[in-house]
Copies of this chain bind each other. A is one copy, B any other.
């Protein structure tokens, strides 16, 4: 696509995939998509916009951009305990090479198939800066959802996966400060965690009947715990020593022990933060680690179990510019 893009040709070539869910009656091609939710279904809807140079580096691989655009949205669905159903994609495209769009679309389709989320529509427009807006729709049993506000005093606070890898990967990606000496595999792992965040879709779905509250960790662990606390009207105690740290991040911390602060404020983890009531037995398949508990106290306060001072600034902006850049919020 060296020349101008014909939108109809573009869609036919790159985005005309068959829908897999029987709920999708009309996907791409009419004025709107048509969804027929199964009886007893409620829908979860979330949206995120990604801007080149703000939410991913300008030189990111098209595969990484496509993966991220879908993954960060699916992470929001996972945090509600919802099962992905479909998504719309709006693309603001500068003049692009055909190769870029081919690679972007192929990776998007890979993600859509892997996570069972049908492309149900979109829009393609010209833009001076590459801009991607995805809206995802997931399904839940009527009356069920993992909101942020259901936590109770005594609930354990747990997280999926490992925390802080993406924050360290970002230091490597930006190249603005010298990182510690790392094994090549550790460095590659941290970059991978930044570029290919893994939405915890199946864990979110499994936790729907067990957790009392949940959200996804995208703005920094402490900041996001704060959101759960604000919605649940509680405080929390967390134990930094209990934090799940990947071998690669552990290698980093050996040289730079003070960087644990990066891990809990850095963001971009796309892990789940969940509250688990006392009676709930943790299934190893969930891949969660308990890092603390919810307590009565000043709403939003987070204490460290060993008395360590937690940083005032609980979250980071991903890419340097104004603070408006990191608004995964209204929902997100």
Give me the interface of A with B, judged by CB distance under 8 Å. Answer: 4-8, 10-11, 15, 25-26, 28-37, 39, 41-51, 54-55, 76-77, 79-80, 82, 86, 88-93, 95, 120-129, 131, 133, 135-138, 140, 142, 145, 147-149, 214-216, 231, 321-332
Contact = CB atoms under 8 A, between A and B. Distances in A.
A126 B31 contact: no
Contact of A326 (B7, B37, B45, B149): B7
A6 B327 CA distance: 8
A28 B33 CA distance: 23
A124 B329 contact: yes
A32 B331 contact: yes
Given A33-B45, A47-B122, A88-B45, A7 B131 contact: no
A23 to B, nearest CB: 9
B331 A30 contact: yes
B43 A43 contact: yes
21 contacts: A4-B322, A15-B330, A25-B145, A29-B331, A30-B148, A31-B216, A32-B79, A33-B45, A35-B42, A35-B43, A35-B44, A37-B43, A47-B123, A48-B123, A49-B92, A49-B123, A51-B131, A89-B330, A120-B331, A122-B331, A124-B327
Instruction: In the A-B complex, list the 7 residue pairs whose CB atoms are closest, starting with the nearest.
Output: A7-B327, A5-B324, A133-B133, A121-B331, A122-B330, A124-B327, A32-B46
Contacts of A50: 125
B49 A133 contact: yes
